[in-house]
Amino acid sequence: MTKIDDVARLAGVSTATVSRALRGLPTVSAATRSRVLAAAEQLQYAVSPSASRLAGGRTGTVAVVVPRITRWFFGVVVEAAEDFFHRAGYDLLLYNLGGREQNRQRVLYATHLHKRVDAIMLVATPLRATDVTALAALDLPGVTISSGTTVPGWPCVRIDDVAAARTATRHLLDLGHRRIAHISGDPDDELAFSAHLDRRRGHQEALRAAGLQPDPSLDVESSFDIAGGTRATEELLRRGDPPTAIFAACDEMAMGALTALRDAGLRVPQDVSVIGIDDHALSGVLGLSTIAQPAVEQGRLAAQLLLDPLCGRALDADVSKPDSSVILDTRLVVRDSTAPARAN
């Protein structure tokens, strides 16, 4: 069996140079790389991924931390990132916090983590000041996606949640709605990501810009999922004088709203219009109007931002190299769940 030493002897270089050349690192000249590749081909040498990683002092693994992997957005982002990692020769180590504080402590304060992974990706994971300090102590490169907290030296990929919410609420206002309810996540859930806070702010900004004051009776908090959307809408209806439109902070909550309205005998959009944020895979099937966010692109760009410094080169010619922090565009998608308000 051919060994790396054989390639090194034939190419007239050290084994370390062979390793760097075969991994495509930029510290090897073009002439030397060509000589090494020719020697490897002549000897039919196949690179061992594990040996290559050990030679470079790397694990070839990226840790990806998500609040709850069962949520649509997190799953789409992780799948897109994993595809990029795979093509770059990296494995993904998934940490699902699952809403449990002990999981958060186990991951963010794991002093041994730097021995298991080369980098960290935090997906919509809010951080306390102590968390940021703990991550800095790991001395690992990282990237955040849709996080309300920045980590010094880490780039971030996200959408403008405030602007997205303004667009959703403006759409309802343009349709003539004035009693517009908002259902969103629980601000007391410390493990919940913070996008719902920005979305509430954008909703209220749009109301004020239209000369309307936010009505606390039309604002209900619940869990950031279908069941939470159902409970929040049921609470809205119990308060009497129902809204003519509902802006849900995510599509899953909007789906829950559709269920609650149907069960209450109300028609969408004839009686109540509903809009969400995400463009969930089921939103088109349900005819849900929404603000589409590019979840796949967020995962891919974050993966590229993370791996480019590790590999010393651009990995995907199809994706333009982003800046250190990227805010991606959203767009309004109008479907069947929103319509002009009925005249009183």
pLDDT at 330 over 50: yes
What percent of the chain has pLDDT above 90? 52
Mean pLDDT over 157-178 rounds to 97
pLDDT band (50, 70, 90) for residue 51: low
pLDDT averaged over the chain?
A: 86
Provide the whole-model pTM.
0.80
Which domains are assigned to the chain? 4-47 (1.10.260.40), 61-154+295-328 (3.40.50.2300), 161-293 (3.40.50.2300)
Highest mean pLDDT: which range of 59-63, 119-123, 197-201, 335-339: 335-339
Task: Give the pLDDT mean for 194-213.
Answer: 94
Q: What's the pLDDT at 320?
A: 44
Top mean pLDDT of 39-53, 100-114, 199-213 is at 199-213
Q: What is the pLDDT of residue 184?
A: 93
At residue 20, the pLDDT reads: 73
pLDDT band, residue 76 (cuts 50/70/90): very high
Average the pLDDT over each of 18-32, 152-166, 274-288 and give the range with the smallest value. 18-32
**Residue 318 pLDDT:** 44
Least confident of 37-41, 216-220, 305-309, 322-326: 322-326
**pLDDT value at residue 316:** 45
pLDDT at 317: 42
Q: Tell me: pLDDT of 269 over 90.
A: yes
What are the b/e assignments for 34-71, b being 16+ CB within 10 Å?
A: ebbbebbeebebeeeeeebbebbeebbbbbbbbbbeeb
